[in-house]
Amino acid sequence: MVEETSGEFSLWLKLVYTVFFLLIMYVNFAYHGWRNVLWFSHIALVLLFLGLWTEKRVLVSMAGISVLFFHSLWTLMFLARLLFGFHSGGAIAYVFDAGTPLYLRSVTMFHVATPPLILYLLSKKGYDRRAFRYQKFWGATLILITYLLSPQRNVNWVHGPVEPQSFLHPYFYLAVLITVLVLFVYLPTHLLLDKFFGQKSL
């Protein structure tokens, strides 16, 4: 059984995160619509919000498994473009699109902030090994929900990597997507987090 310690996340951190969380959610609902909140990135923000206020490290751990790899990669691509002018494709192109309002581009900087925040929270609470089991189920479920609710939008890349694809049957592609996500993203992240932050789990 995994025991939870309490009171390790400071109130000021909870309050500051809550303000930015509500701002990001408001902007997404108002400008992009509710389907945009289905992105793994935004669901991870919800997990972090709940994890902070409930002091449940399993929620923080799930957020880590879900987005640490992708947000770190996003940050590297952003810095490569910002500092060296390296164009890495459409994943971050919108950030440098002058036609997109500045406040929208600023809000998306949460991709840069979440990896250090997650690592900090895990350093305080430790990593919960149950998160891998829960996130496998939740990740697969979210992909299926996204596919059903977003037939015209490529949220969570359910219609293709970055851009919609037509090479594979949609159902087969979803199976491949879930398999790749679990075996090549979730599992390695789980093993690394357990190695460096799992010592506090019982």
32-52, pLDDT tens digit by residue?
A: 889 999 999 999 999 999 999
The pLDDT, as a whole number, for residue 1 is 45
Angular region, 126: left φ>0, alpha ψ -120 to 50, beta rest: left
The more confident residue out of 148 and 28 is 148
Is pLDDT above 80 for 83? Answer: yes
Report the alpha-carbon distance of residue 110 to residue 116 in Å, rounded.
11
Distances (CA, A) of 191 to 65, 115, 136, 183: 10, 16, 14, 11
**pLDDT given for residue 94 in this prediction:** 83
Which CA distances in Å does 159 have to 40, 44, 67, 75, 170? 15, 21, 19, 24, 7
Could you tell me the sign of the dihedral formed by the alpha carbons of 127, 92, 183, 42, in that order?
Answer: positive
Question: Mean per-residue pLDDT for 112-117?
Answer: 97
Q: Which two tokens stand for residue 18?
A: 């809550």
Neighbours of 102 (CB within 10 A): 8
Is the Cβ–Cβ distance between 59 and 184 less than 8 Å?
no
- By the 10 Å C-beta count (0-12 exposed, 13-18 middle, 19+ buried), 135 is classed as buried
Residue 32 DSSP code: I
- Checking if the pLDDT of 103 tops 90, the result is no
Task: Give the pLDDT score at 4.
Answer: 53
| Separation CA 52–CA 54 (nearest Å) | 6
- pTM equals 0.92
Tell how far CA 189 is from the center of its chain: 13
Mean pLDDT of 66-76: 96
Distances in Å between the Cα of 137 and the Cα atoms of 25, 62, 85 are 24, 11, 39
Q: For residue 85, what pLDDT is reported?
A: 80
Closest C-alpha to 108, from 69, 74, 143, 81: 74
> Which tens digits make up the pLDDT trace of 156-194?
999 999 889 999 999 999 999 999 999 999 999 999 999
